[in-house]
Amino acid sequence: MIELKKVTKKFDTGKAVLTAVDQVDLSIADGEIFGIIGYSGAGKSTLIRLLNGLEKPTSGTVEINGKVITSIKGGELRKARQKVSMIFQHFNLLWSRTVKENIEFPLEIAGVSKAQRGKRVQELIELVGLSGRENAYPSELSGGQKQRVGIARALANDPEVLLCDEATSALDPETTDAILDLLVDINKRLGLTIVLITHEMHVIRKICHRVAVMEGGRVVELGDVLNVFQSPKEEITKRFVAQVTDSGDSQETIKNLRELYPTGELVKLVFVGEQTEQPILTKLIRSHSVEVNIVQGNISHTQRGAYGTLILQLKGSPGEMEEALAFLHSEDVQTEVMHND
């Protein structure tokens, strides 16, 4: 569906040449919800603009649905862009137009008849949950309702790809979750490919199938969201994962836990998928002569399954402790004895 090969984008500021995107290779599958996460300046906003042809790469190619966006021009490019829609952080609605008229706008530009426009707009209003608000103006809507209008407008021309540029950053947590649920529903109903950029790992965790982590214009980590949560490799990825897992493995946290639980060993367990539903601790307590105290833990849910972390205080003889850890390994549970560096 989407293929980026050795894509680089440089900007000449007059004083220096800034490399915003640096040798990026990405493949995004048809119907996938793909997340791109990074802090400010990582290059993610530039990357998403390369996907819809708003920016041309300095080198490399961008291919969408078999069309090399980087090599087409004029009418062919405009036609290709109609299949790649975008929603924005600040909604970008026309304030002098009603909800209905905002959604209708891209259909007017495309030359769709009035009768067809009316039918399509009503379908989209129902799809995004705005029935009864057709004649309201943007100033009369909440932030979440404005974003629903933006989503409906982006879907007007039946795109194959929906780009989301920090689409929930201006919303409160409850509204953010509602908009993310809507995007998942749209993805399932329409088979739409969704590419979103964000600096919030909660967004990635909740709806994405795969994620690319960007830093300094490069993709430094790429993979299935569940795998990235389970085994983040780069320090930046670990910081993002910690936003939502609160896994308790920072040195400060370990020090505090050690002060609270000075005896025995602190052991971090990682459960993935079906493991989160298994009575592994019950088995451990029943079959091994170790004292088990649950210190802290949580479970996060992703589109690919659940991911959980648990920190235990284990007490016992060295032999008993070794057997207990071996048992956990035999149950395919990741274990790590937590030490202060």
**Rounded to 5°, angle at Cα 88 from 86 and 89:** 160
Rounded to 10°, the helix 280-287/318-330 angle is 150
Sheet of 305-315: strand order equals 291-302, 305-315, 265-272, 334-337
Stated length of the chain: 341
Report residue 128's pLDDT band, with 50, 70 and 90 as the boundaries: very high
Rounded to whole angstroms, how far apart are CA atoms 194 and 1? 11
Which of 219, 243, 267 is at the close of a domain?
243
Mean pLDDT of 306-317: 84
pLDDT at 133 over 90: yes
Please name which of 225, 211, 222 lies closest in space to residue 36, comparing C-alpha atoms: 211
Which of 243, 271, 296 is at the close of a domain?
243
Does residue 48 share a domain with residue 35? yes
Number of structural domains found in the chain: 2
pLDDT at 182 over 90: yes
Does residue 256 share a domain with residue 226? no
Q: Is 251 in a helix, a strand, or coil?
A: helix
Quote the pLDDT of residue 340: 65
Report residue 68's pLDDT band, with 50, 70 and 90 as the boundaries: confident
Range of the domain at 301: 246-337
The residue assigned the tokens 């983040």 is 232
Ranges 90-104, 179-193, 319-333: which has the least confidence:
319-333
- CATH number of the domain enclosing 279: 3.30.70.260
Report residue 99's pLDDT band, with 50, 70 and 90 as the boundaries: very high
